[in-house]
Amino acid sequence: MNNILVIGSGGREHALCWRLKQSPSVAQVFCAPGNGGIAQDVTCVAVKTPDEIIAFCKKERIALVVIGAEQPLVDGLADKLEAAGIPAFGPGAKAAQLEGSKGFMKMLCSKYHIPTAAYGFFDNEKDALQFLEGKSYPIVVKADGLAAGKGVIIAENKADAEAAVREMFSGSFGDSGKSVVIEEFLDGEEVSFFALSDGKTAIQFGYAQDHKRAYDGDKGPNTGGMGTYAPPPVMSDALCNQVMKEIIEPTVSGMSKDGMPFKGVLFAGLMLTKNGPKLLEYNVRFGDPETQVLMARFDADLFPVLLACSKGGLDKVKISFRKEAAVCVVMAAKGYPGTYLKGTTIRGLDKAATIDGVKVFHAGTESRDGNIVATGGRVLGVTALGVTIAEAQAKAYKAVDSIDWPEGFCRRDIGWRALKAA
């Protein structure tokens, strides 16, 4: 039996902890630092620095560390764990550049002929502004580095594009904006596509559709994600095979050739254009809130799958997903993604938990005096399984409506594309 440590404190980590806890080969799951909801399912521990994490792993004989978020990966946590003889799920710092630097990702695409938007990569304002001359609009301006989902601006005209470039080079995005990618705007339907890799082998690991805008009808500002559903009907077996062949496999083989083999999960943000699927960006960790629907549908032992990404042998593991659909509705604090209220009490979670096929994953909560208190922007991921997306959606909103949290809000149309297609 194996002990596992999950690094992180969001809804993604809650979903991973919950699924790993169900593994027949896992004795105990720890989470650092975790949150109020995670603490109800597994043991939360207060270890932060790489040295503290390594010491804890040795003390508790941790068989695998699952690194949830991108920043520790970019900072090299997986490398430090591996050097200490502790298996880690997640790429080393060099391979994590796929998310840590959009310029790096674009150059890899150019080198290995991976379909993506035409682009320019600049480390100074003058050249970036010059690039905008004679371009068609809208156009996309991206900060090169990690910007917590906020470093992407879709400019509708040249003036907006110039303003975006100047804003990035002015330091508004810190070090993330020291370099800038400017790329063509791609039109189509967006899909989150997941694949696992052990550095040599890549296998498909499901897909989902996210709802990035804050309000119904895809209105309002962009967020970290207001809800997801899976499987999206826009994806077919043929399209999945195309994505693996044209995007995922060339990435894995290219990274290996370049001496930085990718181990972990490749989360490809795709645009399904009239000319086929194109890569918008790579993330080197599971998505949030996509993980919630992936884990709800996953129907095998997760531990050996994640361990194989670290140690090799991914071609020998078994994965399977339930036939049911899953819908995750994010409940956020009013005001999100702007200024929002913290410290409000959430009631009715026990009632929501009684609904068949429902699991409420916590993203931004704490336990205080026996109460669950909201501490973040995105606070809960109310997730439900159903025979159809419509059924899963109905269950999710039934659970949402049983939760007593006047200071929260959610979109009421998660899964609308699938329902429209049906």
Helix (H, G, I), strand (E, B) or coil at 117: coil
Give the confidence band of 133 by pLDDT, cuts at 50, 70, 90: confident
Percent of the chain with pLDDT over 90: 82
Helix (H, G, I), strand (E, B) or coil at 398: helix
Peptide bond into 72 cis (omega under 30): no
Q: In whole angstroms, what is the distance from residue 321 CA to residue 30 CA?
A: 25
Whether 180 contacts 139, CB under 8 Å: no
As given in the structure block, the two tokens for residue 397 are 């909103």
Whether 34 contacts 42, CB under 8 Å: yes
Q: In whole angstroms, what is the distance from residue 33 CA to residue 349 CA?
A: 22
Give the confidence band of 123 by pLDDT, cuts at 50, 70, 90: confident
- Give Cβ neighbours of residue 80 (< 8 Å, ≥ 6 apart): 50, 54
Whether 413 contacts 400, CB under 8 Å: no
> Is residue 177's pLDDT more than 70?
no
Alpha-helical runs (H) found in 64-122: 70-74, 77-83, 97-100, 102-112
- Give Cβ neighbours of residue 123 (< 8 Å, ≥ 6 apart): 178, 179, 180
Q: How large is the average pLDDT for residues 339-362?
A: 96
First to last CA, the chain: 44
> Is residue 418's pLDDT more than 70?
yes
As given in the structure block, the two tokens for residue 160 are 């907006």
Q: In whole angstroms, what is the distance from residue 159 CA to residue 128 CA?
A: 13
Strand order in the sheet with 152-155: 119-122, 180-184, 139-143, 152-155
Q: In whole angstroms, what is the distance from residue 149 CA to residue 281 CA?
A: 11
Give residue 149's pLDDT: 61
- The residues pairing with 32 across neighbouring beta strands, listed in sequence order, are 7
Q: State pLDDT tens for residues 244-287.
A: 999 999 999 999 999 999 999 999 999 999 999 999 999 999 99
Domains by residue range for the chain, with CATH: 2-91 (3.40.50.20), 124-178 (3.30.1490.20), 189-316 (3.30.470.20), 325-421 (3.90.600.10)
With 0-12 CB in 10 A as exposed, 13-18 as middle and 19+ as buried, what is 130? exposed
| Helix (H) / strand (E) containing 395 | helix 389-402
Which amino acid, one-letter code, is at 303? F
> Is residue 422's pLDDT more than 80?
no
> Is residue 420's pLDDT more than 90?
no
> Is residue 118's pLDDT more than 80?
yes
Q: What is the largest CA-CA distance in the chain?
A: 62
